[in-house]
Amino acid sequence: MGLSNMIKVNSDAAIFEVSNCFSYVFVVRDSAGNMVEARSKCCPGKVNPEVAEVMGIREVLSWIKDQNREAVTIETDCIVVVQAIRNDFPLVSYFGRIIQKSAAVVGVTRHQRALFSSCMLFDDTQIQFKESVAQFAQENIAPHASKIDKANSFPKEVNLWKLMGDFNLLGITAPEDYGGLGLGYLYHCIAMEEISRASGSVGLSFGAHTNLCINQLVRNGNASQKQKYLPKLISGEHVGALAMSEPNAGSDVVGMKCKAEKVDGGYILNGNKMWCTNGPTAQTLVVYAKTDIASRSKGITAFIIEKGMPGYSTAQKLDKLGMRGSDTCELVFENCFVPEENVLGQEGKGVYVMMSGLDLERLVLAAGPVGLMQACLDIVIPYVRQREQFGSPIGQFQFIQGKIADMYTSLQSSRSYVYSVARDCDNGRADPKDCAGVILTAAERATQVALQAIQCLGGNGYVNEYDTGRLLRDAKLYEIGAGTSEIRRMIIGRELFKES
């Protein structure tokens, strides 16, 4: 049987009761699901399930080499195998020597990745997309993450926005007519997770640019607005932002005071906006203001603001605890004239633009803490194998194993929730309580996972030589931004009460 373009290998290990030894098994299928090859073997001696599975994957890699295949998906639930094959940490011991020999079979390196998936969340196309974004992020963003945090700014030697634009990451949900990919929110979440895994700060700015700005223009802009603004935003030539909160109107967003007075040909804006991600660098912003100050929700209108408009300025960039480098500032409007054609949607209907966007904002941003949790495990798993106390790697101690288990299950349950809700949104079933629930869950678990990561590293987790402190500071933002955890709980409770 000829092999198709995509080969999938399922690998596992289990105890063989007759001989009381561990055995490995792997099954190879083509893209149509037809079985191409199947092998199993008993591994005699003192072999644990991890070593048995490594032996099986070594056999898989040898088979791949014989078939001259490169595009292969290998599915395994053994996280140590995943880390080792990718060469994400120095390899030691008998277990390590097996991995080194296995990796040498096909020359696997850190950035030349055969794909390993620990769950069945994605189809083959989505898996390929995830791996390509992961490789891009690890090669182009991760090397700058620590410097971005310390300098509180994106690197000047490389234009990350242009790189992301060239890689077609900035218009995932935008139509192809404007340079986008025309894909759905599941793909958007995949990109958000992998970019956040490389750098929480870049991930947050990416989410603000692509979802809060570009996606709002896609959903609510007219043809001329889309043609004018989307191409440069999608290419990375321009940076986008959204401004909703104010110094005295955060959770109570409809209590905003920024006023838009109707005049001939447009509106005059006066007031301030706060906590605007990408504000200092954005050329295009979606801004909410009151066209009827006496009303609450019914008096809000959405506007498209351009950098350089007379009367519009930015105040000092905020010095934040985390998400440093994801620039945040206050916006100031002093008799700023905005032409009528820059109304996004309809006058007085801004609350509909706002609320429909908030559900999708919460979903996409929820993939950020998922990426941060994965980044924590990327640090902890190699560390607990290398770090020895009392003559043994600390990863052999049950207390450490328990912490890692909690971290792993928090990650996987949050990840499953994110992509389940993303599929619903792609199918037109966006549910406010689940969009709030998914970021509530992922955000709070990410903070706890980051704390556990610091604890696993002990004193090393408390020094800035390791990235665990940065991950904790970045994770905390997601319990506050896009609606606090308290507001999210209120939304969920309110929706359930309405349904009862």
The packing angle between helices 432-457 and 485-499, to 10°, is 140
List active site positions.
361
- Residue set of the binding site for FAD: 242-251, 275-277, 387, 398, 455-459, 484-486
Helices and strands of the chain, counted as H and E runs: 15, 15
Cβ–Cβ under 8 Å, residues 11 and 26? yes
- Cβ-Cβ contacts under 8 Å for 210 (sequence gap 6 or more): 169, 170, 171, 172, 173, 188, 191, 240, 364
Sign of CA dihedral 478, 481, 145, 150: negative
Q: Strand 115-117 and strand 72-75: pairing?
A: parallel
SS3 content of the chain, % helix, strand, coil (to 5): 50, 20, 30
The answer to whether residues 356 and 219 touch, using CB atoms and an 8 Å cutoff, is: yes
Residue ranges for the binding site? Answer: 242-251, 275-277, 297-298, 352, 359-362, 387, 398, 455-459, 482-486
Q: Residues marked as binding for substrate? A: 251, 297-298, 352, 359-362, 482-483
DSSP string, 80-121: HHHHHHTT-S---HHHHHHHHHHHHHHT--SSSPPEEESS--
Beta strands at 7-16 and 72-75: parallel, antiparallel or unpaired: parallel
Closest CA to 214 of 233, 188, 236, 186: 233
* 467 vs 375: CA distance, rounded Å: 9
- 3-state SS class at 330: strand
Q: C-alpha angle with apex 65: 5 to 80, nearest 5 degrees?
A: 95
How many residues belong to the chain?
500
